[in-house]
């Protein structure tokens, strides 16, 4: 399995060698978030894929996986939903400012202490900006900061500022036809 994953990633990087953010190009990647404070630890992983519908504007979907521990309480969430991202043009194109927005439908399993367990559904949205640092024509390391808000069906949820770090691989439209 490790060998297959390595070959798949190497092939994607090779095929994406001349990709940018032009209409018809694809982006595949994801984000990682780690938040710690006092008694709380949150770990999130959000893979995504998108299509550039016009130059510099991508729309796509993401899948979010999140695990939070707060004292004896544990929360595990699965989310799925759309995103939109705009890349600003710069003189060198090496570091490009981006705006990013996402909306996810969530299903969360809560385990309170050792006895009580429940499942809730809700919505999460993120809106923010940041930078995509292109380490090649086909790969960027991304940093986003923005407002992240979760609202559940049965209770209010939470909101606040979030920092995400991740990467994207860009595949030129001519290389996937």
**Among the listed residues 150, 176, 167, the one whose alpha carbon sits nearest the alpha carbon of residue 47:** 167
Using a pLDDT cut of 90, give the percent of the chain over it.
56
Q: Dump pLDDT digits (tens) for 142-168.
A: 999 999 998 888 777 778 888 999 999
Q: Over the stretch 108-146, which tens digit does the pLDDT of each residue have?
A: 998 887 778 888 899 999 999 999 999 998 999 999 999
CATH (one of 3.30.920.30, 2.40.160.20, 3.40.50.800, 3.30.70.20) for 2-175? 2.40.160.20
Could you tell me which of 172, 166, 176 has the C-alpha nearest to residue 135?
166
**Strands in the chain per DSSP E:** 26-37, 40-54, 57-70, 73-87, 95-112, 116-134, 139-152, 158-171
Contact indicator for 130, 144 with CB cutoff of 8 Å: yes
Residue ranges covered by each domain of the chain? 2-175
Whole-number pLDDT of residue 17: 41
């Amino acid at each position: 399995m490790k060998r297959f994953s390595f070959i798949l990633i190497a092939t994607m990087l090779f095929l994406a060698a001349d990709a940018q953010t032009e209409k018809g190009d694809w982006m595949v990647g994801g984000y990682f978030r780690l938040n710690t404070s006092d008694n709380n630890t949150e770990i999130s992983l959000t893979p995504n894929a998108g299509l550039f519908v016009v130059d510099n504007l991508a729309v796509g979907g993401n899948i979010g996986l999140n695990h939070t521990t707060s004292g004896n309480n544990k929360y595990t969430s699965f989310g799925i939903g759309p995103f939109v991202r705009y890349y600003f043009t710069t003189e060198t194109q090496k570091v490009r400012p981006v705006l990013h927005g996402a909306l996810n439908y969530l299903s969360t399993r809560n385990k309170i202490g050792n006895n009580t367990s429940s499942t809730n559904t809700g919505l999460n949205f993120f809106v923010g900006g940041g930078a995509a640092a292109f380490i090649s024509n086909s790969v960027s390391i991304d940093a986003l900061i923005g407002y992240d808000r979760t609202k559940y069906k049965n209770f209010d949820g939470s909101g606040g500022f979030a920092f995400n770090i991740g990467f994207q691989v860009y595949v030129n439209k001519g290389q996937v036809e």
